Amino acid sequence: MPRLASVACSYADVVRAPSYFPLWLSQLVSGFGDTLHYVALVVLDFQITGRGVAVAVLVAAEVVPVLLLGPVAGVVIDRFDRKTVLISADLGRAALVASLVWPQGAWHAYAVAAGLAVGNAFFNPTVQAVIPAITTPDQRLAANPVAWSTGRLVQIVAAATAGGLIALVGTDAAFAINAASFVGSALLIARLRVPPHAGQVGADATRGLAGYLADARAGLTFARRDRFVSRLLVVQTLASLATGATGAMLVVLAERHLRLPPSGFGWLLGAIGAGALLGPLIPNALAGGDRAARWLFVPYVVRGIGDVLLAVVTPLPAALLILFVYGVGTSTGAVVFATAVQRAVPDAVRGRVYTLLDAAWNAARLLSLAGGAVLVDAVGVRPVFWLGGTLLVLAGLLGLALLGRDDGRPRGADGSGANSPTIAHVAADRVWQPGAEGTNP
């Protein structure tokens, strides 16, 4: 109990910190709008096309820009003022979303989805890169869990609101609210005091294409030579191959295996969301500042076993319990990843490493989605969960074998040491929504 009380106080303290509060509040405001937008965009796309496959096209429109722009975004984040990058991404996304108030057809929805993905490719890694500059090490141990938990709570509330709002006034209102949330986020971020970062100081912004390519190559070289980064890339890619299909096919499992009505799928998502609220509290409450690899990869093993069990059990209470544990493990690993990155990656290359891991995750996710769709039609949904769960267990065990002795603390600054800075990436927006888990299963 004393530790829990101390954790609760540290959460309150970091939220009240003037250096962090505007960023935290901006993420809550934007997260509410994003969730409304996500539901409304799927509804609008289906209304226009009348085809379920259109949703898959939307997913592809969100993933492909991340793959193409990752190297560019990483260089921009590491060379230019990060506060300006955040505000520009918010305002650009606000304009895109506002255009959907007057939809022009399915192509318009896909174009906006792709444009938002471009903005996210710049915005999300920059947020993670900025947090170490505006918080102390002790504050970061609380900042990541409190941001995650409050963000999941806002998303749950927004998801519950979205259905009623769209039913009453249509999708236009949801898009208008999301556009306003981006503007509100930009105004809050404008209040932040973000000091110049290592890559920005003395950077020659006029070096042209050759300079960008050189910076991109430097980021790849760091990732290849760094012991933790290179190994984590392998583990994360394997984990994404395992979870891309199972996350997207949860709705199919609910209908064909669990025999649930359409509302039952919402119950499954609710169980994941409830677990995601609790998960961030576990490492701080039980282990203080410990961020060893067991907090990174054991959740993989737990969720992998859960995916296999989901394909075996049929009682709804058992499925809800499994998914609750799934949500706990997902969010526990997510906040540990965020803290490890912010503590250990050199500031000058942080943006490039974040975007590299993001691109690798999304490439594997796209392959997994394609493979899962083929397997579901060929052999059914249960083998997809058996295969995905087994693969995720193997990813967790591989992570523990390769990095299990690593304590997540830097032992070098140039990426060439025996165990140079720890690197990981968390972009777990809509973690409880199928197929959008981010970089931590």
Kindly report, residue by residue over 33-92, the tens digit of the pLDDT: 777 777 777 666 556 655 545 555 666 677 777 777 777 888 888 888 888 999 999 999
Q: How far is CA 319 from CA 260, 322, 392, in A?
A: 11, 5, 18
Task: Tell me the percentage of the chain whose pLDDT exceeds 90.
Answer: 10
Mean local confidence (pLDDT), 369-382: 83
Pair 403, 231: CB distance under 8 Å = yes
User: How much is the pLDDT for 187?
Assistant: 92
**Exposure on the CB side of residue 387, measured as CA atoms within 13 A:** 17
**Mean pLDDT comparison of 20-24, 148-152, 260-264, highest-scoring range:** 20-24
Asked whether 352 and 219 are in contact (CB, 8 A), the reply is: yes
Is 76 within 8 Å of 212 (Cβ atoms)? no
Provide, rounded to the nearest whole percent, the portion of the chain with pLDDT above 70.
72
Going by pLDDT thresholds of 50, 70 and 90, the confidence category of residue 427 is very low
Give the pLDDT confidence of 159-191 residue by residue, as tens digits.
Answer: 667 667 766 766 777 788 888 888 999 999 998
The predicted model scores a pTM of 0.71
More confident call, 290 vs 158: 158
Q: Nearest Cα to 215, choosing from 351, 114, 346? A: 351
Q: Which pLDDT belongs to residue 414?
A: 39
Angle 288-274-425 from CA coordinates, rounded to 5°: 55
Going by C-alpha positions, the residue among 329, 333, 331, 342 that lies closest to residue 409 is 342
pLDDT at residue number 20: 80
Distance CA 315, CA 317 (A): 6
Task: Please say if the pLDDT value at position 426 is more than 50.
Answer: no
Is the CB of residue 220 less than 8 Å from the CB of residue 356? yes
Rounded Cα–Cα distance for residues 45 and 107 (Å): 9
The 10 Å CB-count burial string (b at 16+, else e) for 14-48 is bbeeeebebbbbbbbbbbbbbbbbbbbbebbbbeb
- For residue 169, what are its two tokens? 């006034």
Task: With both helix axes pointing from N to C terminus, report the angle between 137-169 and 21-49 in degrees, rounded to the nearest 10.
Answer: 30
- 97: nearest Cα among 63, 121, 120: 120
| Helices and strands of the chain, counted as H and E runs | 16, 0
**Predicted pLDDT at 277:** 77
DSSP letters spanning 145-161: HHHHHHHHHHHHHHHHH
Class of domain 2-403 (CATH, top level): mainly alpha
Range from 171-175, 338-342, 370-374 carrying the lowest mean pLDDT: 338-342
How many Å is the Cα radius of gyration of the chain?
21
Residues 6+ apart with CB under 8 A from 358: 66, 70, 121, 124, 125, 425, 427, 439
Q: What is the mean pLDDT of the chain?
A: 74
The pair of three-digit structure tokens given for residue 55, joined into one six-digit string: 């949703």
- Out of 138-142, 260-264, 337-341, 372-376, the most confident range is 372-376
pLDDT of the residue at 387 = 93
Residue 369 near residue 418, CB atoms below 8 Å: no
The C-alpha atoms of residue 314 and residue 326 are separated, in whole angstroms, by 17
Between residues 406 and 315, the one the model is more confident about: 315
| 29 within 8 A of 189, measured Cβ to Cβ | no
Domain parsing of the chain, residue ranges: 2-403
Q: Which amino acid is at 222?
A: F
409: tokens are: 């603390």
Render the burial of 374-392: b for 16+ CB within 10 Å, e for the rest. Answer: ebbeeeebbebbbbbbebb
Residue 96 in this model has a pLDDT that exceeds 70: yes
